[in-house]
Amino acid sequence: MDKLDNIQLSQFNRAYFIGIGGIGMSALARYFNAIGWEVAGYDKTPSPLTDELQNEGIKVHFEDFGPSIPAQFKVKEQTLVIYTPAIPKNLGELLFFQNAEAQLFKRSEVLGLLTRQSKGLGVAGTHGKTTTSSMLAHILNESELKCNAFLGGIATNFNSNLVLNPTSEYTVIEADEFDRSFLKLTPFASIITSTDPDHLDIYGDARVFLEGFQMYAQLIQTEGCLVKKEGLEVSSKAKTISYAIESKTADYSGADLRFVEGKFLMNVRTPNGVMANVQLGIPGIHNAENAVACIALTQFLGLSEEEIRMGLSSFLGVKRRFEYKVKKEDLVYIDDYAHHPTEIHALVSSVRLLYPGKKIIGVFQPHLFSRTRDFFDGFAKELSALDEVILLPIYPAREEPIAGVTSDVLLGKISAPSKMLLSPNEALGYVSKIEAGVVLTIGAGDIDRIVEPLKNALI
């Protein structure tokens, strides 16, 4: 029996978060705060997100354990303690609550509890989860169906990672494969965007990674549907709908992607006919593909073509996902969260489509020693497609260094016309002097700390 089967959220009135500053954790914290619970938590360092949580009345501290945990949150009968697998297992606060035999749950387990109360719409995949789930949430929110949503990024339309519509029966969830979190969900329907191997430090190899997605697909309710990118080797008991770009065989296919008078357009072939000249609020080949998936799922849910078109054209994207920071005639600066070779390929291909002939300068911060080790050749190949590469040291996150895995080794494998290894501050100083071309900051670590200073320097 699943331990969640014996838990009812109604038995608690407080939530305590260990790792509250994470993007997924903060969405849950905001949710419980919004429904009237008392909420507090710990995070390692202050950030703009923890500042926002504190401004919303949530108590946040940055010292591990000790007297920092408010006394009322130590009453285990009334406190739901939520932690992220990204924190160290020897963290003092985690050990305290474990020793106190508190009601301790992973973020994914709490999402699983919440989605049992509604029709969950999952978005899974190695790439594209955050943009696709945010796009889906926006389309639904602009329609009569509405939705609730727990997002893995700050959606520009909502200026938040949380969407609340208590009367809606739908909840959009970013179904995260990290630590097999998505296996705690029971989605009514789901999009799966990709199953490219990742997190091999957890799964071991590509076969086991794919098995995780297959297990997730089997969790989809039979009356719902699976919307999967054409060619993915996953199956479901529910109705299955395939999608792709430039395909003659997928159920839904986008084609003729073009940039006309400042508008990013495509035609979409559907089982119900062709949707011509669909306008997307954000450009990019990968965003067009995400949009086709959203069209397939929202048509299944009963939205009209007019509602879908309106939602897609007014979607403004997600912070750090192909986010324009500077847009001048000679100089463009785009910030992107890409941290896997496939994501970098999609980013650079989209920039080449939008800005043919312009020099592309990429500042890339590798994320995790294990991911860099597992995809050395893939990173080298995709970064070599840039005209100039500025490589930063590897961001370790939760990991210890691995012998022989360094940015210097990766730099040696890159064949771009110009390449260099710099510290973040050195990169900021160097790129600040660029006067023409397309500048990209790329990565999922703390590269975001140079984004605003760089933007201000380039404006």
- Domain CATH for 75: 3.40.50.720
Q: How confident is the model at residue 178 (pLDDT cuts 50, 70, 90)?
A: confident
pLDDT in tens, 409-425: 999 999 999 999 999 99
pLDDT in tens, 79-121: 999 998 878 888 999 999 999 999 899 998 999 888 888 999 9
Task: Please tell me the predicted confidence (pLDDT) of residue 180.
Answer: 84
User: Across-strand partners of 173?
Assistant: 122, 150
Dist CA 253 CA 241 (whole Å): 11
CB 290 within 8 A of CB 278: no
pLDDT in tens, 229-283: 999 999 999 999 999 999 999 999 999 999 888 899 999 999 999 999 999 999 8
Both 306 and 409 in one domain: the answer is no
Task: Please tell me the predicted confidence (pLDDT) of residue 424.
Answer: 96
SS3 226: strand
Backbone φ, ψ for residue 331 (5° rounding): -135, 130
- The DSSP bridge pattern shows strands 225-229 and 239-245 to be parallel
pLDDT in tens, 355-414: 999 999 999 999 999 999 999 999 999 999 999 999 999 999 878 999 999 999 999 999
Name the domain boundary from 86, 106, 126: 106
Task: CATH number of the domain at 307, please.
Answer: 3.40.1190.10
Is 50 exceeded by the pLDDT of residue 14?
Answer: yes
Both 298 and 417 in one domain: the answer is no
Both 365 and 304 in one domain: the answer is no
Task: Please tell me the predicted confidence (pLDDT) of residue 2.
Answer: 60
Name the domain boundary from 313, 344, 376: 313
Task: CATH number of the domain at 441, please.
Answer: 3.90.190.20
Both 260 and 194 in one domain: the answer is yes
pLDDT in tens, 121-172: 999 998 889 999 999 999 999 999 999 999 989 999 999 999 999 999 999 9
Sheet holding 170-175, edge to edge: 160-163, 148-155, 170-175, 119-124, 189-192, 225-229, 239-245, 252-260, 263-270, 273-280
Both 162 and 59 in one domain: the answer is no
Backbone φ, ψ for residue 298 (5° rounding): -70, -30
Residue 112 covered by a domain:
no
Both 300 and 327 in one domain: the answer is no
Dist CA 390 CA 367 (whole Å): 15
Q: Give kind and range of the element (H or E) at residue 82.
A: strand 79-83
Both 302 and 157 in one domain: the answer is yes
Sheet holding 437-442, edge to edge: 323-327, 331-336, 437-442, 360-364, 388-391, 418-421
Residue 350 covered by a domain:
yes
221-224 contacts at long range (C-beta below 8 A, 24 or more positions apart): 221/186, 221/187, 221/188, 221/189, 223/188, 224/119, 224/187, 224/188, 224/189, 224/190
Residues in the chain: 459
pTM of the full predicted structure? 0.83
Both 305 and 333 in one domain: the answer is no
Residue 26 covered by a domain:
yes
Both 302 and 366 in one domain: the answer is no
Residue 133 covered by a domain:
yes
- Mean pLDDT for the stretch of residues 185-207: 85
Residue 1 covered by a domain:
no
Q: How confident is the model at residue 6 (pLDDT cuts 50, 70, 90)?
A: confident
Exposure pattern of 406-430 as b/e (b: 16+ CB <10 Å)?
bbeebbeebebeebebbebeebbee
Residue 259 covered by a domain:
yes
Is 50 exceeded by the pLDDT of residue 454?
Answer: yes
Dist CA 291 CA 280 (whole Å): 8
Q: How confident is the model at residue 204 (pLDDT cuts 50, 70, 90)?
A: confident
Residue 419 covered by a domain:
yes
Dist CA 335 CA 363 (whole Å): 10
Both 137 and 29 in one domain: the answer is no
pLDDT in tens, 276-316: 999 999 988 889 999 999 999 999 999 999 999 999 999 99
Residue 328 covered by a domain:
yes
* Widest CA span in the chain: 63
Structure-token pair, residue 442? 């790329």
- Mean pLDDT for the stretch of residues 427-455: 96
pLDDT in tens, 321-352: 889 999 999 999 999 999 999 999 989 998 99
Domain that holds residue 93: 11-106
Task: Please tell me the predicted confidence (pLDDT) of residue 8.
Answer: 80
Task: Write the CB contacts of 70 (distance below 8 Å, at least 6 apart in sequence).
Answer: 40, 59
CB 421 within 8 A of CB 408: yes
DSSP type of residue 355: S
Name the domain boundary from 274, 294, 313: 313
Both 308 and 356 in one domain: the answer is no
Is 60 exceeded by the pLDDT of residue 1?
Answer: no
Name which of 55, 54, 23 is nearest 41 in CA terms. 54
Is 60 exceeded by the pLDDT of residue 429?
Answer: yes
CB 279 within 8 A of CB 265: yes
- CB count within 10 Å of CB 245 equals 19
Structure-token pair, residue 204? 């071991």
How many structural domains are present in the chain? 3
Dist CA 144 CA 131 (whole Å): 22
Both 126 and 253 in one domain: the answer is yes
